C-alpha cells in the first residue's frame, strides 16, 4: 500500500513547479512544502526555463498545455542541458499522443488533472530516491576514477569488439589517446596480436597475462598486460579490462643482475660461474658427438709489478686492453672468453680440438701481446704465458681439464714466459714442447 501522505518526507528536495493555472500551482506547491520540499514556481514555460537555468533543479513538475512554450518544449530544452533531471508532467488532456511524447522525452511520471496529491507526493519521493541513488553512484564512480587516475598502470575498458571505451591518464601517457580504437592497433596490428590475452581470457573465462614489445620514438618498451572479464549483473560478459605495465626498467634491471651474476664487471667477459657452466656444456656436447675441444689458460707475466709500480687504476686499464686483444683472436660466437680473477683468463674453444689449430691461436695471442701497453705516460711490454689442455686427451671432466691447462700454463712460465705449452703429463715441465 502507498505510504500515507503525512509519512512522506521530502525534506532536502528542491524542485520547480511550472503551472499556468495559479490555483493548481498553489495547491501543488503547498502540498509539497508541507511534506518538507523546497518549492519554486513559474507561471509559464519561458519563465520556468529561465529559473531552471539559474538553479538547475533536479526535479521539475510541469503542466503540458501552456500558452507560449508548451511543457513538451520546456522539457526538451531542459533535457538538452541536463539529461538526468527528473520530470513529472501534469495535464488535463487525455490524449495518447501526449502520453507517447512524454515517454519519448523521458518523463519520470505523468498525471492527469485533477491531480491526486498523494500519488504526486509519492512520485516526487521516488524521483528524490532516484536522484540520491544516482548521486551515490556518481560518488562511487568519482572515487573509482580517482583511484584509476592515481595508478601508474595504464588501464583500459574494452567492448567485445576490442575497442577501447575508457582509458586512464597513465594509459594516455604510455600510448596517447586510443579511445575508440581497437587495442591491437596500439601494437601496429590490423587483427588481434599473436597470443592475444583478450582472446585467451574470453575463451577460458580466466584472467591472462602477456608480455609484448612496443616501439616508441626509436626505442623499445617492454609491455606486460593482463586481461580480466567484465560481467553485468546477470553474469553475462560485456567486455574486458586490460592493465598495461611498462616493465622496461624491470627487464633492464634483470639484465643488469644477470650480467653481474655471469660476467666480470671490469672487462665484461664471462666470469667463473658462466665459465664453469659453458665448460660443462662443451664437455656434454663433445661426449654426444665424439668430438675434441681445447681449453686455454693464460695470465699476464709479472702483472703484480704493474699494480705495485703504477697503481691499481693503471692495472685495470691493462686488464681491459688485454681482454680486448684476446677478443681480436677469438671472434667465433662458439668460443667463451672468461676472466677468472686477477690477471688470469681462459678460453673454451668449442668444436676445436686440433692441436695445430690451437697452436696457431696461441701464436696469435702471443703476437697480440708483443705490442707495448700504455701505462700512464709510458709504454711498457707485457707478455703472457699460455697453457692448453684438450678434451678428452687430458681429461673428461671439468676439474681434470682445468688442472691440465693450469699446469701447462705454469710449464710455460718455467720455460721462460711469453710462450705456450700443451699439457703433456709424461713430459718434464722444463722440456715440454712449445714456442717462445
Query: What is the CB neighbour count within 10 angstroms for residue 348?
Result: 24
Domain around 33? 5-143
Distances (CA, A) of 10 to 14, 39, 204, 404: 9, 11, 50, 98
Residues of the chain with confidence (pLDDT) below 50? 1-4, 428-436
Q: What are phi and psi of 244, to 5 degrees?
A: -105, 135
User: 236 in a domain, yes or no?
Assistant: yes
Domain boundary among 251, 279, 304: 251
Domain boundary among 251, 278, 303: 251
Determine the straight-line distance between the first and last CA of the chain, rounded to whole angstroms.
114
What CATH number does the domain containing 160 carry?
A: 3.30.450.20
Are 82 and 44 in a shared domain?
yes
User: 355 in a domain, yes or no?
Assistant: yes
DSSP string over 205-241? SS-EEEEEEEEETTEEEEEEEEEEEEE-TTS-EEEEE
Query: Mapping DSSP to helix (H, G, I), strand (E, B) and coil, where does residue 329 land?
Result: helix
Are 164 and 116 in a shared domain?
no
What radius of gyration do the chain's Cα atoms show? 43
Q: State the number of CA atoms in the 13 A half-sphere of 140 facing the CB.
A: 5
Cβ-in-10-Å burial (0-12, 13-18, 19+) of 104 comes to: exposed
Are 229 and 358 in a shared domain?
no
101 closest CA partner among 68, 129, 74, 139: 74
Give 258-298 pLDDT, tens digit per residue.
878 899 999 999 999 999 999 999 999 999 999 999 999 99
User: 207 in a domain, yes or no?
Assistant: yes
User: 244 in a domain, yes or no?
Assistant: yes
Per the CB < 8 A criterion, the answer to whether 155 and 35 are in contact is: no
167 closest CA partner among 152, 159, 151, 179: 179
Are 246 and 277 in a shared domain?
no
What is the predicted pLDDT for the residue at 401?
Answer: 96
What is the predicted pLDDT for the residue at 433?
Answer: 41
Angle between helices 117-150 and 22-34 (to 10 degrees): 60
Are 237 and 381 in a shared domain?
no
What CATH number does the domain containing 131 carry?
A: 3.40.50.2300
Query: What is the CB neighbour count within 10 angstroms for residue 206?
Result: 11
Per the CB < 8 A criterion, the answer to whether 315 and 303 are in contact is: yes
User: 257 in a domain, yes or no?
Assistant: no
Distance CA 295, CA 266 (A): 22
Of all helices (H) and strands (E), which one includes residue 422?
A: strand 420-422
User: 75 in a domain, yes or no?
Assistant: yes
Are 417 and 279 in a shared domain?
yes
User: 258 in a domain, yes or no?
Assistant: no
Are 161 and 306 in a shared domain?
no
What is the predicted pLDDT for the residue at 106?
Answer: 77
Per the CB < 8 A criterion, the answer to whether 436 and 418 are in contact is: yes
Per the CB < 8 A criterion, the answer to whether 11 and 34 are in contact is: no
Number of domains into which the chain is organized: 3
Q: In this structure, are strands 373-375 and 378-380 parallel, antiparallel, or unpaired?
A: antiparallel
User: 272 in a domain, yes or no?
Assistant: yes
What CATH number does the domain containing 373 carry?
A: 3.30.70.270
Are 243 and 328 in a shared domain?
no
Domain boundary among 93, 114, 143: 143
Are 326 and 371 in a shared domain?
yes
Distances (CA, A) of 54 to 41, 57, 70: 13, 9, 20
C-alpha dihedral sign at 359, 269, 263, 222 = negative
Are 40 and 136 in a shared domain?
yes
Per the CB < 8 A criterion, the answer to whether 37 and 43 are in contact is: no
Distance CA 306, CA 312 (A): 8
Are 11 and 128 in a shared domain?
yes
Amino acid at each position: 500500500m502507498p505510504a500515507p501522505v503525512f509519512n512522506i518526507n521530502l525534506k532536502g528536495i528542491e524542485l520547480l513547479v511550472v503551472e499556468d493555472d495559479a490555483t493548481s500551482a498553489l495547491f501543488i506547491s503547498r502540498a509539497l512544502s508541507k511534506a518538507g520540499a523546497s518549492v519554486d514556481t513559474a507561471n509559464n514555460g519561458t519563465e520556468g526555463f529561465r529559473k531552471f537555468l539559474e538553479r538547475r533543479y533536479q526535479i521539475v513538475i510541469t503542466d503540458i498545455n501552456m500558452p507560449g512554450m508548451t511543457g513538451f518544449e520546456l522539457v526538451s530544452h531542459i533535457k538538452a542541458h541536463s539529461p538526468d533531471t527528473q520530470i513529472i508532467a501534469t495535464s488535463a488532456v487525455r490524449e495518447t499522443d501526449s502520453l507517447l511524447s512524454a515517454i519519448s522525452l523521458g518523463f519520470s511520471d505523468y498525471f492527469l488533472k485533477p491531480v491526486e496529491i498523494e500519488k504526486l507526493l509519492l512520485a516526487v519521493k521516488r524521483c528524490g530516491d532516484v536522484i540520491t541513488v544516482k548521486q551515490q553512484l556518481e560518488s562511487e564512480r568519482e572515487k573509482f576514477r580517482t583511484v584509476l587516475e592515481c595508478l601508474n598502470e595504464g588501464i583500459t575498458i574494452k567492448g567485445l569488439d576490442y575497442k577501447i571505451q575508457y582509458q586512464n591518464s597513465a594509459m594516455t601517457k604510455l600510448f596517447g589517446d586510443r579511445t575508440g580504437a581497437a587495442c591491437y592497433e596500439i601494437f601496429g596490428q590490423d587483427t588481434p596480436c599473436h597470443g592475444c590475452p583478450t582472446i585467451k581470457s574470453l575463451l577460458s573465462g580466466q584472467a591472462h597475462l602477456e608480455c609484448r614489445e612496443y616501439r616508441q620514438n626509436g626505442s623499445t618498451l617492454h609491455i606486460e598486460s593482463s586481461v580480466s572479464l567484465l560481467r553485468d549483473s546477470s553474469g553475462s560478459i560485456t567486455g574486458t579490462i586490460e592493465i598495461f605495465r611498462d616493465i622496461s626498467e624491470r627487464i633492464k634491471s634483470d639484465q643488469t643482475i644477470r650480467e653481474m651474476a655471469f660476467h666480470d664487471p671490469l672487462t665484461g667477459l664471462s666470469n667463473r660461474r658462466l665459465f664453469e657452466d659453458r665448460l660443462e656444456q662443451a664437455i656434454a656436447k663433445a661426449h654426444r658427438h665424439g668430438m675434441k675441444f681445447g681449453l686455454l689458460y693464460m695470465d699476464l707475466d709479472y702483472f703484480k709489478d704493474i699494480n705495485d709500480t703504477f697503481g691499481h687504476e693503471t692495472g685495470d686499464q691493462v686488464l681491459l686492453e688485454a681482454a680486448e686483444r684476446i677478443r681480436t683472436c677469438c671472434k667465433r660466437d662458439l668460443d667463451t672468453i672468461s676472466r677468472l680473477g686477477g690477471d688470469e683468463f681462459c678460453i673454451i674453444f668449442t668444436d676445436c680440438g686440433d692441436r695445430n689449430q690451437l697452436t696457431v691461436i696461441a701464436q696469435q695471442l702471443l703476437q697480440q701481446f708483443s705490442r707495448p701497453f700504455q701505462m700512464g705516460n709510458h709504454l711498457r711490454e707485457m707478455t703472457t704465458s699460455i697453457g692448453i689442455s684438450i678434451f678428452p686427451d687430458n681429461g673428461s671432466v671439468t676439474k681434470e681439464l682445468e688442472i691440465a691447462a693450469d699446469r701447462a700454463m705454469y710449464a710455460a712460465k718455467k720455460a721462460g714466459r711469453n710462450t705456450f705449452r700443451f699439457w703433456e703429463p709424461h713430459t718434464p715441465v722444463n722440456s715440454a714442447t712449445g714456442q717462445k
